[in-house]
Amino acid sequence: MALIRKDKQFRWHRKHLLGLRELSAEEITYILSTAKGFEQISTRSVKKAPPLRGKVVVNLFFEDSTRTRNSFALAASRLSADVIEFTQKTSSVSKGETLLDTARNLEAMGIDIVVIRHSAGGAPKFLSRNINACVINAGDGFCEHPTQGLLDVYTIRKIKGTLEGLKIAIVGDIAHSRVARSDMWAMTKLGAKVIFVGPPTLIPTQANLLPVKVSYSLDEVIDKVDVINMLRIQFERLGGNPFPSTREYSHYFGLTVERMKRAKPDILVMHPGPINRGLEMESEVADGSNSVILEQVKNGLAVRMAVLFLVNQAAAQKD
C-alpha cells in the first residue's frame, strides 16, 4: 500500500486562470488532484475551511449565469472568503462605466480575486494585465470557460480513471461554445481524442487547425465514443438560421433514447447546463443512468475551490 506519495517538485505559480489552452498537462493534473482534497468539505458537518479568511472575491458577471456564478460564490464562502456580487443590470456599467474603471474601483475597496464573465473574448486577460488582483475567467465570449473544462475532465477522470485513449464527442453548437474549446484543450492535453459533432453551420470554420476531428453526423459516432458532451443550443447567440427548425436539429443531433441504444453501455452523458429538454437531449436520457450531469455540478464546486485556493497561493508567494 502506497501510504505516502513522494512530494513532487511541482509548484503552482499562476495567479490568474485565464484559459486551459496555456496550461500544461501537469498543471491541469495538479488542479484536479488539489480539487480532490476539497471534495470532502462539502460532505462534513462544518462545510467550511479557513484558507481564504479575510480575502475578498468579486463575482464580476457581465452575462447571465446561475450555475457558474452560484458555484463560485459557494466555493469562495466555503473557503471563508467574503464575496461581492456584481451584476451588470444593477451596476454603474449601465451608466456607461468601462470594464477597467469598474474593476479599478472594486480593487480600490481591497479585493483579492476577480471572477469575471464577459461577452468579449480576452476580457479576463485584459483585466489581468491592468489590475493587481487575481483574475479567474468564468467564461469569455466564444473563447474559454476554463473551470467548466476542468470540472468536465475531473468528472470523467473520477469515473473512468483516466482520459488517456478515451474517445469523446462534443455535440452541438461548437462555433459559439467556449465550453467546447476549454473541454477540447483539457481533454486532448490529458490524452483523449475529441470529435466535434454538429451541422456544418455550427462547426467553427477553422476547426481543421484544432487538435480535433469533425463529424457532421451523430449517428456515425454515437457507437464509438466513451463520453458524449451535449452542448446547449444557445439561442441568444445564434444569428441567422443555422438550422431549419429545432425539430430537424433534434432529429439529427439530439441525444434520444433511440440513439442511446446504439451507444456503448458505459458511455458517460454530459451536459454543461442549462438543458433544453427535448432539443439537444430527451428527458429520459438527461435523467438516465448514464447521465453524470448533476455529478458535474457537484464536482464544479470542488474544482472552483481548488482554483480559488491555488491562485491565492500563487499571489501570496509572489508578494
Partner 1 sequence: MKVILDSAQIKQILKDLTRHIISDTPRELDIAAIGIRSRGEVLAQRLSKRLSKKLGKDVPCGTLDITLYRDDLNSPQGTSQPQVRTTEIGFDIDDKIIILVDDVLYTGRSARAAMDALIDLGRPRAIKLAVLVDRVGRELPIQADYAGYKTDAAPGKLVQVSLVESDGKDEVVIE
Q: How far is the CB of 147 from partner 1 (least distance, A)?
A: 17
Amino acid identity of residue 206, one-letter, is Q
Q: How far is the CB of 46 from partner 1 (least distance, A)?
A: 4
Looking at 46, 108, 109, 209, which residue binds partner 1 (CB under 8 A)? 46
Q: Does 34 bind partner 1 (CB under 8 A)?
A: yes
- Between 251 and 290, how does the x/- string for binding to partner 1 read (CB under 8 A)? ----------------------------------------
Q: Does 158 bind partner 1 (CB under 8 A)?
A: no
Q: Does 154 bind partner 1 (CB under 8 A)?
A: no
Q: Which stretch binds partner 1 (CB under 8 A): 30-38, 63-71, 143-151, 212-220?
A: 30-38
Looking at 20, 38, 86, 197, which residue binds partner 1 (CB under 8 A)? 38
Q: Does 209 bind partner 1 (CB under 8 A)?
A: no
Question: Within 13 Å and on the Cβ side, how many CA atoms surround 127?
Answer: 33
List C-alpha distances in Å: 7 to 4, 18, 310, 312. 9, 27, 17, 21
CB 21 within 8 A of CB 185: yes
CB 131 within 8 A of CB 124: no
Could you give the residue ranges of the DSSP H alpha helices within 204-291? Answer: 218-221, 246-253, 257-260, 283-286
Nearer of residues 51 and 273 to partner 1, judged by Cβ: 51
List C-alpha distances in Å: 296 to 11, 179, 269, 319. 27, 13, 10, 35
Sheet holding 82-87, edge to edge: 82-87, 56-61, 113-118, 134-140
Q: Does 105 bind partner 1 (CB under 8 A)?
A: no
Residues lying near partner 1 in the complex (CB under 8 A)? 1, 3-4, 7-8, 11-12, 30, 33-34, 36-40, 44-46, 48-51, 54, 79, 306, 309, 312-313, 316-319
